[in-house]
Amino acid sequence: MLKGGVYLDVENLTRNGGWGMRFGVITDLVRAQGVQLLRANAYVAADFDRESTDPEYARRNKEFRNAIRRSGFHLLVKRVRRFINDDGETILKANADLDLAVDALVQSENLDYILLGTGDGDFVRLVRALQNRGRRVDILSFAHTSNDLRYEADFYFSGFLIPNLLETENGKDRYRGVLYSVSPERGYGFARVRNDLKFQDVVYDVFCHINEFQEHISNEEFQAFKNRETVLEMDLICQPDGRYKGENIKEYAWSS
């Protein structure tokens, strides 16, 4: 069994669509790849100066950090520091990238598999360094992901598509996917939908008809969903012939 570690750039993930994610699902994702999880690190920025003067802000952030710990992660907190630039503006900085990179490199001595949770292209060199050590490196991220980072990874997981990682509409058992083929004049297309946690657990031919959308969309909008790789949320229905179709489809809107 492969020995693995997870390293999460929490600030990058939550700022780009991962706010509210269930951290325990990430450790489940790693174990689903046949990996024995040895390290699970989460790197978080904390504005302790503001927390000292804003009780509600402090309460929310402490609960957030505690939730990460309860999910089995070792929490590494980077203090937000304030600097005054040449224009007299206050700049806030709390970059944990170097800490994450150093920890991943040092701890990789005893690991075979590493999942990096970030979309930041600055980590491309880290991915290459780990791969040069013979490690498998997968990436998990949400929006605004560096293309170079995606292509450098051994496998890329879109956090939007991982079942149960993010809340679904009304908490129902729904799935998310992306259209890869459409026939707008006929009003249908096919989506790629992840239906479980193993890297191969993807249904590649989910039939999506324009009439199954919760809100009316035009043929042009349907085509645009495919062109923009818009994330769609749907009920995933297995038909008698074993094929899948999407029902009650809607565009998934994320918030930071």
Structural domain boundaries in the chain:
2-161, 169-251
Nearest of 60, 21, 57 to residue 42 by alpha carbon:
21
Residues in a beta bridge with 138: 115, 155
pLDDT of amino acid 80 = 75
Q: What is the pLDDT of residues 116-170, one digit of tens each?
A: 999 999 999 999 999 999 999 999 999 999 999 999 999 999 999 999 999 887 7
Question: Which of the 8 DSSP states describes residue 154?
Answer: S
pLDDT at 109 over 80: yes
Strands 113-117 and 136-141: parallel
> Using CA atoms, how far apart are residues 126 and 2, in angstroms rounded to an integer?
20
In terms of CATH architecture, what is 2-161? 3-Layer(aba) Sandwich (3.40)
> Using CA atoms, how far apart are residues 166 and 195, in angstroms rounded to an integer?
14
pLDDT of amino acid 198 = 92
Q: What is the pLDDT of residues 70-80, one digit of tens each?
A: 999 999 998 87
Give the residue, 26 or 49, on which the prediction is more confident: 26
Strands 74-79 and 35-46: parallel
> Which CATH code is given to the segment(s) 169-251?
2.40.50.140
